[in-house]
Structure 1
């Protein structure tokens, strides 16, 4: 089951999210740390959506975003940090 990951961003912060007709199912927030880095600070998935891979999809979307913008990611969120530890192919943006 593919879910589209969407992005909302402003000058200082943003979030990746997955939604359906009932609302937001999962959300991962970040803040900008200067012009060249984002800090992922929180990942949350609705409890009835656990195990569907939404968290990993959002981390992968953050990696795509970082690669496109030529910026780095600091994963302070324990979940995001775990995804990077398990998927070393994403580590070029660390």
Structure 2
């Protein structure tokens, strides 16, 4: 699956232009917060959401920003990938 990149958004469309998967991560004050992930029911269970979040974190870090998450899936992903947690602001769920 090929992802399309926009500032603060990574997504995939089907051949008809319908949204198949998406992650959004607006940036503010040096932090990009992953606030939404979506994967079409037809693609769930295939690792698409994980690949989207990985791509988002990679893009965030390439831009010199810190990754954070308010989306529950992205929060879990960051916890499961400790190589990113020391540089992320993803501890909002601990409050």
- Taking structure 2 as the reference length, the TM-score comes to 0.80
Q: Secondary structure at the match of 1:21?
A: coil
* Count of matched residue positions in the alignment of Structure 1 and Structure 2: 87
Contact 1:43 1:55 in 2 (8 A): yes
> How far apart in 1 are the matches of 2:23 and 2:42?
17
Alignment RMSD (CA, Å): 1.5
| 5+ long unaligned stretches in structure 1 | none
- Answering whether residue 29 of structure 2 is matched by residue 31 of structure 1, we say no
The partner residue of 1:57 within 51, 54, 58 is 51
Distance 1:90 1:4, change over 3 A: farther
State TM-score, norm by structure 1: 0.81
Contact 1:16/1:27 (<8 A) preserved: yes
Please list every run of 5 or more consecutive structure 2 residues that lacks an aligned counterpart in the other structure: 89-95
Distance 2:50 2:43 in 1: 13
